[in-house]
Structure 1
Amino acid sequence: MVASEPTRCLKADLRDADWWDGIWEDATVQAAQETGLSSFRGHCPWTVEQVLDSDWRPPIPRSAMIDSKAVRQQHRWPTRRY
């Protein structure tokens, strides 16, 4: 059996900036379709090492922290006094 294409190696893809750009573009298109949002960065802001680190998580944007604080303040439960 002769393969028509050589088997791609993911490790090689991970070192390829063009591959990352294509993956990022596909991901942002899908995210836009699923969320209705349209403001995504033009390139992946994280390094390959960060993305592959199972313990790493992207930082929460400051605007999200401010928004969630405002939401918490708007929906404060009354304080019980005994």
Structure 2
Amino acid sequence: MIFELDYSNQEKEILEGKRRYREQMNSMYTAGYTDAEEKCLAKLAEKNAAIAKLDAEIAEKKTSIAKIKTDLEKKIKK
């Protein structure tokens, strides 16, 4: 009994498998990329909120310092 391979079908199957593998890897990469982007955007939003809070504190302290300076200048002039 002679066993013969049909190389044309075998080659088609290999090419189809490679195509499916590439599609799967591309979709996994895209999904991972978008997940990472969402995580980064959330972290950036947290960072920006923290910066805004610190900026508000700085502005408040600058106002307080300016008020103290003017009060001292008034006391020195008396």
TM-score by length of 1: 0.25
Task: Compare the two structures and name the one with the higher helix fraction.
Answer: 2
Higher relative contact order (CA 8 A, sep 6+): 1
Q: For the pair shown, which has the larger CA radius of gyration, 1 or 2?
A: 2
